[in-house]
Amino acid sequence: MDKCKHIGRLRLAQDHSILNPQKWHCMDCNTTESVWACLSCSHVACGRYIEEHALKHFQESSHPVALEVNELYVFCYLCDDYVLNDNATGDLKLLRSTLSAIKSQNYECTTRSGRTLRSMGASDDSYLSHGGAQALLRNEDRMFTALWHRRRAFLGKIFRSWLELTPTGKKILEEERRREEAEERRDKARKRRQERKHELKAEMEKMPPRKSSRLQNQIRMSSETAPCLQKPSQNMESVAELKKTYTSDEVRLKKISDSPIKRRPTVTPGVTGLRNLGNTCYMNSILQVLSHLPIFRECFLKLDLNQTQELLATATNGKTRSSSKHLSIAASTLHVNENQEKVKGSSSVRRPSVSSGLSGGASKSRNMELIQPREPSSKHISLCHELHTLFQVMWSGKWALVSPFAMLHSVWRLIPAFRGYAQQDAQEFLCELLDKVQQELETTGTRYPALIPASQRKLIKQVLNVVNNIFHGQLLSQVTCLACDNKSNTIEPFWDLSLEFPERYHCNGKEMSSQYPCLLTEMLAKFTETEALEGKIYACDQCNTKRRKFSSKPVILTEAQKQLMVCRLPQVLRLHLKRFRWSGRNHREKIGVHVNFDQMLNMEPYCCRESLKSLLPDCFIYDLSAVVMHHGKGFGSGHYTAYCYNSEGGFWVHCNDSKLNMCTMEEVCKAQAYILFYSQRLTQANGHGKIPCPSTAESQQHTELADCSMDNSSS
């Protein structure tokens, strides 16, 4: 929020405990994560993602404004939003600078005797009138510092003299002497190499340039044919300029590759954290999962729609012709723009991180975080382009942390429902993101197809095919009439399966959730079980065959039962566990029951055997690829994290925004899952075994379904 009215009436508490780092922990649960300090009193408590003690303090004391002591965010509970403005006296700015000085241990008014200056209290004049007290405290601090250094020097001298007399001390001193001698030898060798290099360079500069006979012949031939050449055309000049810019870009890229940036510490590819930009954990967890799906990731690493959209924009404005020469020139400019983007990306601004991770995530190195610009990197807003850029950074092995500002602002502009910093649902965001990406690919591929190069059109078609089919499956909805036993089959597409909990698990008690875990196979069985329709509501075609179409006789309604079965399996199976249910008119509560799931899932019991009988048994086997979890108690609050399987390194990673940690399969299976991602084993096998062609298998499925429906109708 840009302007909060409650900040203007804020008066900071006198002698606040926030200035003492020893009190940076929750007063109730003693945790040091997500610590929020009330700015109206001296209370310190944990945030919403831990135990919500800060929220309880607001409900009890009506103190609306709190500050996070680690990230220095300010939040107003009455406005339910983060605060960006300050009061008239600038108290928040002063408090942030004071806390930053305390963290970096450069706070001038903190003495070694333990005395600290007070923050701005009820009276600003009284605070400013303490200039003499500040000077006195600084003098005392210098005195304590001098005494401390004197005592430390005396103790160090005594300890060193004692250590030199002991056998262990003699051994340590001998090792130190050897290390110093080895370091001196290395320095001397390094200096000799540098001097030799400078001597060789000076000798090469003094030598006259020599040309080979081949170059001399070329120069002679060019000088002979020069008078016969005519003035080149405008198109040839533009092509030459493009080649010149391309070569200059290559030289610039070569210089950057030789720079110290290339030699910075590398991280494991894919182990890159995403900074939380304000309740964006739902987006970070989904982006981590999509980047760890190899099929989805590889497509967007190859495709970048930014250049194609620029080409279409110029075509719309009438600046592009459909000649083959111009198309080739445009294709070369696309390549040049790509190189320029890589150059810009390598020189982006970086800042230090907070904590350490699995050679990735939040890192202590100052050169390991990439901060995207506040606006999208292209004037044509494109989710495909932002996915391409983000996946390139995450899997380059050079960045431990990314602040995805460009991706967030693109989502805000193209998906208005997720605009702002409110709590959002990860499942809804995943569905909206895939829909927008699909629409963008379809729109780009159909607009001015003659202006897009053939290779780019083919690549767009391949990526669109992957986006459409990676999560796409089909359900067979079978309704059976109980009067004549006639079966009516309907095929319905699906992109995920929303699984409901059985009735006995609809409770919020911690005892019930810990004693009786639910099985994933039990939820799948409930999804595919036969359900009896209430009353006589089904109009059976078989029972109404003797009744004419325009007859005045009433339609015969019978009792029926319905069953859903999978008749086409997707490459990646998404299982959405419906943990949130309505309890009351406007309240949605969470079902906190643990769901037991395995690393391998066999989908054969839940499929229509008549339609999939031609498939191999291994086609029904799925391996776990990712898990999205929801931490918290309600729908409108909580935190999202994800477990992802890194196929490059062969290990599991827990992705918690900027923090990434390696974990075991046992830890993954203990997670409170919200969305499960299973990958088909034959798709991952890369040709091992007999894999049926997808088009053949699909045609066989449709043929068998048609035969099945014809047999049922004839019966």
| pLDDT tens digits for range 86-115 | 887 788 888 888 888 777 754 444 444 444
Q: How long a stretch of residues is the chain?
A: 715
- Rounded to an integer, the average pLDDT of 493-514 is 74
Q: Which one of 392-401, 444-453, 681-690 scores highest in mean pLDDT?
A: 392-401
Q: Mean of the pLDDT values across residues 312-340?
A: 42
Range with the poorest average pLDDT among 6-20, 431-445, 451-465, 693-707: 693-707
Tokens of 460: 């767009």
Rounded mean pLDDT of the chain? Answer: 75
Q: Is 281 a catalytic residue?
A: yes
CA torsion sign for 433, 435, 437, 440 is: negative
Q: Rounded to whole angstroms, how far apart are CA atoms 529 and 538?
A: 19
Quote the CA–CA distance of 162 and 359 in Å, as a whole number.
Answer: 41
Predicted local distance difference test score (pLDDT) of residue 272: 92
Question: How far, in Å, CA of 371 to CA of 275, rounded?
Answer: 9
Task: List Cβ neighbours of 140 (8 Å cut-off, separation of 6 or more).
Answer: 111, 113, 115
Rounded CA separation 553/579 (Å):
47
pLDDT of residue 25: 86
Using DSSP, state whether 696 is helix, strand or coil.
Answer: helix
Maximum distance among all Cα pairs of the chain, rounded to whole angstroms: 117
CA 666 to chain centre: 23
Q: What is the DSSP letter of 541?
A: T
708 carries an active-site annotation: no
Least confident of 60-74, 91-105, 322-336, 422-436: 322-336
| Weakest mean pLDDT among 17-31, 137-151, 279-293, 614-628 | 137-151
User: Which of 4, 26, 38, 281 is flagged as catalytic?
Assistant: 281
How many angstroms separate the CA atoms of 90 and 97, rounded?
11
Average confidence (pLDDT) over 301-309? 72
Outline where 377-519 has alpha helix (H): 383-394, 405-414, 426-446, 454-469, 510-515
DSSP state of 320: -
Checking if the pLDDT of 202 tops 50, the result is yes
The amino acid at residue 148 is W
| Residue 396 pLDDT greater than 70, yes or no | yes
Query: What pLDDT score does 307 carry?
Result: 63
Asked if 475 and 566 touch (Cβ cutoff 8 Å), the reply is: yes
pLDDT in tens, 622-662: 999 999 999 987 766 789 999 999 988 899 999 999 999 99
pLDDT in tens, 563-604: 899 988 999 999 999 888 766 656 677 888 899 999 999 998
* pLDDT tens readout for residues 339-388: 444 433 433 433 333 333 355 565 444 457 777 776 655 567 888 888 99
> SS3 of 565, please?
strand
Query: Is residue 540 scored above 70 in pLDDT?
Result: yes
Given 57, 576, 639, 654, which residue is catalytic? 639
Judged against a pLDDT cut of 90, whether residue 677 lies above it is answered with yes
Model pLDDT, residue 287? 96
Compute the 3-state secondary structure of the chain and give helix, strand, coil in percent, each to the nearest 5: 45, 15, 40
Q: Does residue 93 contact residue 86 with C-beta atoms inside 8 Å?
A: yes
Answer for the pair 460, 441: CB distance below 8 angstroms, yes or no: yes
Residue ranges of alpha helices (H) inside 258-291 are 281-291
What is the C-alpha to C-alpha distance for residues 439 and 441, in angstroms, rounded to an integer? 6
In the sheet that holds 531-532, the strands lie side by side as: 487-494, 473-481, 560-568, 531-532
pLDDT confidence bin for 461, thresholds 50/70/90: confident
| pLDDT tens digit sequence for 253-284 | 333 344 434 435 467 888 999 999 988 999 99
| Owner of token pair 């086997």 | 621
- Percent of the chain with pLDDT strictly greater than 70: 67
**Which residues, 6 or more positions from 291, have their beta carbon under 8 angstroms from its beta carbon?**
270, 297, 390, 391, 394, 395, 644
DSSP secondary structure letter of residue 533: P
